[in-house]
Amino acid sequence: MSDETRGADFLVGLIIGGLMGAVAGLLLAPAPGEQARTDLREKSIELKERVVELSEEARKKAEELQAEGRSLVKEQKARVQGAVQEGKKAAAAKKQELIEELEKDTAASA
């Protein structure tokens, strides 16, 4: 599981836990029924707005992390391609060195 999904899962859990705690607190508070319902309604509206804000922030952060990840992948791809090219050059040089050595040995044996 990636850090992004763990962070999003944590955020969702935090929001749900906060909502449940607020509802439980209002229901268990010693207030008249009508007042408790009014308070519950107001708190639920506030919490809904906060959930919308937090989800927007989480979406923006996820987009930023996704862009950063793409950038890192491009960088790594370029590094790998460079390393492959260096490896090909080194292999070609070693091949040429071995061919020259083989030719010397063949000429010396003849």
Q: What is the dihedral of CA 16, 17, 20, 22, to 10 degrees?
A: -110
Please tell me the total count of domains within the chain. Answer: 1
pLDDT grade, residue 104 (50/70/90)?
confident
Residue 29 pLDDT greater than 70, yes or no: no
Across 4-13, 40-49, 59-68, 79-88, least confident range: 4-13
Residue 89: the pLDDT is 94
Average pLDDT, integer, range 46-69: 88
The string of pLDDT tens digits covering residues 74-90 is 999 999 999 999 999 99
> Which two three-digit tokens encode residue 80?
């790998």
Domain interval for residue 100: 3-109
